[in-house]
Chain A
């Protein structure tokens, strides 16, 4: 009863702060719109090749261009000066330049993944064009396709991105919004008035967690609707399981924010320690790159961080339409984090 009233009041006061509310909901939507528009283009992203236009195009040049057009490439013809400028800005992954005898190809070492892939395609196109020029039979090519491992139903990058965005949003809401608000309220003495009442801390904290939980669920619904109606991204799995995973994840990261906020006296300190936690979790979660090359102990340590198992379970449901059977351990990890953090938050919470 008390908890319900606390929860309602949190919502009422939150709803009055229109600007804050607007941005809370607008930010993840804008992120999705931005990424979605960039990566919307079809199943396979196009590979860009800078083509340095020769003074006089020869037959071999024409043949290569023709062959390249059959591959999923985007050709960017430009003058040697323009090509040079673009190359030195670091924007070019692969540049092909016709010479008197043949061709010269440069691959950007900073864009190694995209560069290698493109270079492969250019090599194959080159073989095709050589055969055509000499009137030989077509060489047998190894078909190359780009796919997302384990997510056969959604090769589209935006579809792969959406669950990641949901997870990221949860973590940043928990660590930045929730924790920061708590620290600044304590700093401004807004909790002191509560400290002299008999209100139990856990009711106050749980009321806040429940409020943020509903805010996040509404955000999620927005993102899913936009994904569905703007980008045609569909949840492949059960909505019940999706809700379950989202609720668990939200509880975990909110509790983490609360727990963390008890370690900082000022907003400045909090900003520092929350970043200290946020970035390692983000990079070590296996979302951005695999940790094959990392030391064994680090790989094992990372398994117990909650973001990675949470995202895996979320993607299994959302992208693959699977159940949660294979994710029991991962979800237990998330649940344990949630319980430990909430316990720690209640124990360490200070009104002033």
Chain B
């Protein structure tokens, strides 16, 4: 039986004026895609950088692939692959050169051609990296994280700042990495990305893990599989006793009223009738199933985007 990919207990990191990581426990099994989901400033990147050996923790125990940083630092480094949140390379290096150069730092490495094929960057293989687009740069960073044929791959916000098409193509690469049998740990503040990619998730806020599970489990925990949304032109009005009329909680978020419900079919007729009677000036009605966004909202009272 192989050791787990990652085991973290009681991780803490204090920065001047802010407790960035406030006691984090994580377990990641081999072969899974594990996500750290949370808003900016939740402590995801700090947690990841401590695990990657870039930052030293104030307290806590970490085992990476069953190994300890203090005694096996070099071995851990040669068996993990890391994509930093922003990868800054020397100005005039080409993707092919960067992959060959970095591959040379490891005991075993994959060829530049193979990796460029994997991340679909063959046509830019010999261009200076400063001429790459954001999406191409992220794919190069991903290829660099795979250069040593790693067992465990860390991706820090791999799709932040990318357009939808570039994001989809990056997701495709992440799925291929998983299909190759590697373990992936990624951070993201996009709930659709977490749902699309992750086998299991830890939702983080204020340096703590709020809850852990598969996306389906986390949503099921809510016991409110659906959400009915009324949209308004401009800011939504105050609820003002309307929740009592329909016998369900109403949450005001931006230009929406959100009404979580286990049974939208029976709620809808009551809701529309009451809205008509109270002359609520809504524009549209929308029924959707609950998402990780709702889980986060439920746990913190805030939206991921706030």
How many whole Å from B140's CB to the nearest CB in chain A? 11
Contact B78 A13 (CB under 8 A): no
**B77 contacts which chain A residues (CB < 8 A)?**
196-198
A89 at interface by CB-CB < 8 Å = no
A189 at interface by CB-CB < 8 Å = yes
Are A197 and B102 also in contact (CB < 8 A) when A9-B97, A352-B54 are?
A: yes
**A17 contacts which chain B residues (CB < 8 A)?**
91-92
**29 cross-chain CB contacts under 8 A:** A2-B104, A2-B105, A5-B104, A9-B97, A13-B91, A13-B92, A13-B93, A16-B91, A16-B92, A16-B128, A17-B91, A188-B88, A189-B86, A189-B88, A190-B88, A192-B88, A193-B87, A193-B88, A193-B89, A193-B144, A194-B105, A196-B77, A196-B82, A197-B102, A197-B106, A197-B148, A198-B77, A198-B106, A351-B54
Are A196 and B84 also in contact (CB < 8 A) when A13-B90, A13-B92 are?
A: yes
A218 at interface by CB-CB < 8 Å = no
A31 at interface by CB-CB < 8 Å = no
- Measured CB to CB, the nearest residue on chain A to B92 is A16
How many whole Å from B281's CB to the nearest CB in chain A? 50
Contact with B along A159-197 (1 / 0, CB 8 A): 000000000000000000000000001001110111111
A260, B80: Cα distance in complex, Å: 32
Known contacts A2-B105, A192-B54, A352-B54, then 8 further A-B pairs from the complex at CB < 8 Å, ordered by chain A residue: A17-B92, A185-B90, A189-B84, A190-B89, A196-B80, A197-B77, A198-B74, A198-B77
- Measured CB to CB, the nearest residue on chain A to B91 is A17
Summarize B's interface: helix, strand, loop or mixed.
loop
Interface residues on A, range: 20 to 34
Using a Cβ–Cβ cut-off of 8 Å, how many residues does chain B contribute to the interface with A? 27
A188, B93: Cα distance in complex, Å: 16
**Residues of chain B from 70 to 114 with CB closer than 8 A to chain A in the complex:** 74, 77-78, 80, 82, 84, 86-93, 97, 101-102, 104-107
A2, B144: Cα distance in complex, Å: 18
Partner of B101, one of A5, A190, A192: A5
Contact with A along B52-80 (1 / 0, CB 8 A): 11100000000000000000001001101
- Measured CB to CB, the nearest residue on chain A to B79 is A198
**A197 contacts which chain B residues (CB < 8 A)?**
77, 102, 105-106, 148
Are A190 and B90 also in contact (CB < 8 A) when A196-B52, A196-B77, A196-B84 are?
A: yes
**B74 contacts which chain A residues (CB < 8 A)?**
198
Are A195 and B54 also in contact (CB < 8 A) when A189-B86, A189-B88 are?
A: yes
**B82 contacts which chain A residues (CB < 8 A)?**
196
**Residues of chain A from 191 to 228 with CB closer than 8 A to chain B in the complex:** 192-199
A5, B104: Cα distance in complex, Å: 8
Query: What is the total of A-B residue contacts with beta carbons within 8 Å?
Result: 57
A9, B92: Cα distance in complex, Å: 11
A13, B130: Cα distance in complex, Å: 13
- Measured CB to CB, the nearest residue on chain B to A195 is B54
A185, B88: Cα distance in complex, Å: 9
How many whole Å from B103's CB to the nearest CB in chain A? 10
How many whole Å from B15's CB to the nearest CB in chain A? 14
**B52 contacts which chain A residues (CB < 8 A)?**
196
Are A198 and B104 also in contact (CB < 8 A) when A193-B84, A193-B88 are?
A: no
**A352 contacts which chain B residues (CB < 8 A)?**
54
**B88 contacts which chain A residues (CB < 8 A)?**
188-190, 192-193
**B-contacting residues of A (Cβ < 8 Å)?**
2, 5, 9, 12-13, 16-17, 185, 188-190, 192-199, 351-352
Contact A198 B54 (CB under 8 A): no
- Measured CB to CB, the nearest residue on chain B to A9 is B101
- Measured CB to CB, the nearest residue on chain A to B101 is A9
Are A198 and B90 also in contact (CB < 8 A) when A5-B104, A9-B97, A193-B144 are?
A: no
A137, B123: Cα distance in complex, Å: 94
Task: Report the 7 A-B pairs with minimum CB-CB distance, sorted nearest first.
Answer: A16-B92, A196-B82, A198-B77, A199-B105, A197-B105, A189-B88, A198-B78
**B53 contacts which chain A residues (CB < 8 A)?**
195-196
How many whole Å from A108's CB to the nearest CB in chain B? 51
A320, B52: Cα distance in complex, Å: 58
**A188 contacts which chain B residues (CB < 8 A)?**
88
**A12 contacts which chain B residues (CB < 8 A)?**
97
Contact A192 B106 (CB under 8 A): no
- Measured CB to CB, the nearest residue on chain B to A352 is B54
A351, B106: Cα distance in complex, Å: 18
Interface centre among B74, B92, B106 (most CB of A within 10 A): B92
How many whole Å from A352's CB to the nearest CB in chain B? 6
How many whole Å from A12's CB to the nearest CB in chain B? 8
How many whole Å from A113's CB to the nearest CB in chain B? 48
A352, B53: Cα distance in complex, Å: 12
**A198 contacts which chain B residues (CB < 8 A)?**
74, 77-78, 105-107
How many whole Å from A188's CB to the nearest CB in chain B? 5
- Measured CB to CB, the nearest residue on chain A to B128 is A16
Contact with A along B281-295 (1 / 0, CB 8 A): 000000000000000
